[in-house]
Structure 1
Amino acid sequence: MNDLLKVSIEAAINAGKKILEVYENEFEVETKTDNSPLTEADKRSHHAIKDALAPLNIDLLSEEGKLLSYEERKNWKKFWLIDPLDGTKEFIKRNGEFTVNIALVENGYPVAGVVHVPVTGKTYYGSAEAGSFAFTYDPNSSASIEDYINNASKLPDAQAPAVYTVVASRSHNTPETESFIEERRKQHGEVESISSGSSIKLCLVAEGKANVYPRLAPTMEWDTAAGHAVAKFAGCNVYNYETGKELEYNKENLLNPWFVVERN
């Protein structure tokens, strides 16, 4: 698992470099069949990750790869689940709140995950064996990936917020989310709300900077698997809003149910 994590961390950081090559210049925006945006950065990141992980001979499902039928993937016991650029809308807005997500899923649940924020270099990773950690990658440093891993901070690296804090989506807030926050306000009194884009929201709960992240709006499996791993192995629950059960992956329909990320 340590070797798989190292390779996936390296892949995420290198994909982030490919994304920044596009981000720092003018770029065109295409529209996919589901009306979501697509840029050259999404494509470059996808190919960089796919090439990096290919020698490991583990099945791979990527948002920007071939959309495989359930028949083709239903018997997968282990596979990579990837979003090469999570938060394309934030990328287009140039607010920096987008990530590279790489998760390793076994028997329907993430067992390892990496979330890398290209603009800041902040890199979160976690596994069932080791727990969750974070470091900030500096492209101008001579430090190796091993150096970063050896000096990473264990999560959570912050005390629980003094005021109960809810993190919400920058681009996809809903009336249901507002109702959720109001319910928590009744329970906890004062409630602070913070916003962010992409899978950074799951990582804010993992870090201890927020108590809960309700996602009462649509997401896909590749949006959440890596952040799910980071949050889970940092001591958080990632559960179906309706059933209370842990979020599952490689379903026939890759659309996630509404879910909540909450620190125990």
Structure 2
Amino acid sequence: MERQYILNAIDAALKAGEKILSIYNDPASDFQIERKADNSPLTIADRRAHEAISDFLCSTPFPLLSEEGKHLPYAERKNWDTLWIVDPLDGTKEFIKRNGEFTVNIALVHKSVPVMGVIYLPVKKELYFAEENLGAYKLTGMVARKETSLDDLMASAVRLPEKSLHDSFVIVASRSHLTPETEAYIEEMKRCHPEVELISSGSSIKICLVAEGKADVYPRFAPTMEWDTAAGHAIARAAGIEIYQAGKEEPLLYNKEDLLNPWFIVETKHSK
């Protein structure tokens, strides 16, 4: 993939983060919470982030599948060889709780496989970006790219995964969706490993923690959509991590007829 597409996605994520923070940091804001058809919270921040991302990605030749955009029927989508899959604000519940654990997710998917990904944490100013042939990286203190080249960004970033970040077996789990099946998995891991540490986190940060080397595994036995995982999956793949369908050796696939993901486990390819 052309390197310019990574810069397009990075610029889009940073601008979306700026739009989100303008609302998040406004003490007078009530986040203008509405309800979607599935009764999940929606804020004006979602829509403004979507608009910002659309503005940056419309210059590329690829169609956009965004949580906040129009979802075209599969009869049309199935002809998309390459597409952007975007969640403008992943972790809306964390946003409303004001705990900072929300992200901007942008992925480029080619033939059902996420080949490029950008995840931005606006509150922490942390930027994860990856491309399958270039690797995965993390930058801190990012607000705007300006004229910085991709090579300079990579030179300034930490290459993922980092090594020897922990001694115990670390499981990262959802802060808002800890199901009985996940709790059972955690108990099983406690029987398999002498020392198990549990980290709770929101949004796609959980995938990033495994890709980064701060956690060993992230089990997800609760519903997610393709836009929740595509960017993190791209970053994980570039870091030598895979997202397997639970109970199978097969990775998650994208731009399916049903955009709902199966249950999955994020772990290193060599730990199977």
Q: TM-score, normalised by structure 2?
A: 0.93
Name 1:61's counterpart in structure 2: 65
Please, which of 146, 160, 168 is the counterpart of residue 173 of structure 2? Answer: 168
3-state DSSP of counterpart to 2:250: coil
| Count of aligned positions | 264
3-state DSSP of counterpart to 2:58: helix
Distance (Å, rounded) in 2 between the aligned partners of 1:139 and 1:155: 21
Name 2:121's counterpart in structure 1: 117
Any gaps of 5 or more consecutive residues in structure 2? none
Percent identity (aligned)? 55
User: How big is the alpha-carbon RMSD for the aligned residues of Structure 1 and Structure 2?
Assistant: 1.5
**Contact kept? 1:112, 1:128, Cα under 8 Å:** yes
**Contact kept? 1:160, 1:211, Cα under 8 Å:** no
Distance (Å, rounded) in 1 between the aligned partners of 2:145 and 2:81: 38
Please, which of 84, 89, 98 is the counterpart of residue 102 of structure 2? Answer: 98
Please, which of 78, 85, 96 is the counterpart of residue 81 of structure 1? Answer: 85
Q: TM-score, normalised by structure 1?
A: 0.96
3-state DSSP of counterpart to 2:154: helix
Distance (Å, rounded) in 2 between the aligned partners of 1:204 and 1:115: 12
Report the more deviating stretch, 129-138 or 39-48. Answer: 129-138
Distance (Å, rounded) in 1 between the aligned partners of 2:250 and 2:22: 40
3-state DSSP of counterpart to 2:69: coil
TM superposition shift of 1:142: 7.3
Return the letter of the residue paired with 1:152.
A
3-state DSSP of counterpart to 1:100: strand
Name 2:236's counterpart in structure 1: 231
3-state DSSP of counterpart to 1:55: coil
Distance (Å, rounded) in 1 between the aligned partners of 2:144 and 2:254: 37
Return the letter of the residue paired with 1:180.
Y
**Contact kept? 1:137, 1:148, Cα under 8 Å:** no
TM superposition shift of 1:222: 0.2
Q: Deviations over 1:141-166 (max 9, x none)?
A: 97836443331110012425200000
Return the letter of the residue paired with 2:224.
T
TM superposition shift of 1:242: 2.7
Distance (Å, rounded) in 2 between the aligned partners of 1:204 and 1:53: 27
